[in-house]
Amino acid sequence: MHGLDRGERPEILIKPNLRRAYRRGFGNGRLLKTYFTLVLFLMLGFALLVVPGLVMVVWYMFALPATVLEQYTGRAALKRSRELGRGFYWRNVGIVLVDWLVVIGVLLVAVIVLVLLELLTLAGNFPLLEGLLGVALAIAVLGPLTSIPLILLYYDMRARKEGYGAAQLVEDLKI
């Protein structure tokens, strides 16, 4: 069994930094290639009607995490995503739907707060600037709320199917 004994901590030899993270994610264009391959497949699926598109969304939900975290590219990342999700599709869809309900709830609260602030301050002098700030705030809040649960679900699938543990995670994140 992979993992650490209770109370034992892995020795982390590398400190996270932004340059290393971008190099890992965007190195050699892997992420962009996988992204465009994914978009092409999803467009094809939705062109065939809605149901095939939704099936492909479920199959390929782990393609981008597999690209960044395991260095898969293009169709190999799509295949890896499908392997990880197999047997857990309904569970994964349920978790992602709950996540999106939370995101939509946060977005609604943010919109209500911004509208109330606008009404209370009567500061309609810079509507474009306020709109851009609202979009930037929404991206800053909603980005992590959509990606973090997906990454945790990805690691959960690896732990369930491959016995993936904390010690292996530390090893994998070394570059």
- The pLDDT, as a whole number, for residue 163 is 85
- Quick check: is 141 in a domain? yes
How would you label 134-154 residue by residue, b for 16+ Cβ within 10 Å and e otherwise? Answer: eeeebeeebeeeeeebbeebb
- Quick check: is 7 in a domain? no
- Quick check: is 76 in a domain? yes
- Quick check: is 13 in a domain? no
- Quick check: is 52 in a domain? yes
Counted domains in the chain: 1
Provide the residue range defining the domain that includes 58: 18-172
pLDDT tens digits for range 36-79: 888 888 888 888 888 888 888 899 999 988 888 888 888 999 99
Would you say residue 116 has pLDDT above 80? Answer: no
- Quick check: is 66 in a domain? yes
Mean pLDDT of the chain: 80
pLDDT tens digits for range 129-164: 666 777 777 777 778 888 889 999 999 999 988 888
- Quick check: is 10 in a domain? no
- Quick check: is 65 in a domain? yes
Q: Is the dihedral of CA 20, 84, 82, 106 positive or negative?
A: negative
Would you say residue 33 has pLDDT above 80? Answer: yes
Q: Cα 15 to chain center, whole Å?
A: 22
Integer Cα distance of 126 and 10 in angstroms: 51
Contact in structure between 59 and 81 (CB atoms under 8 Å): yes
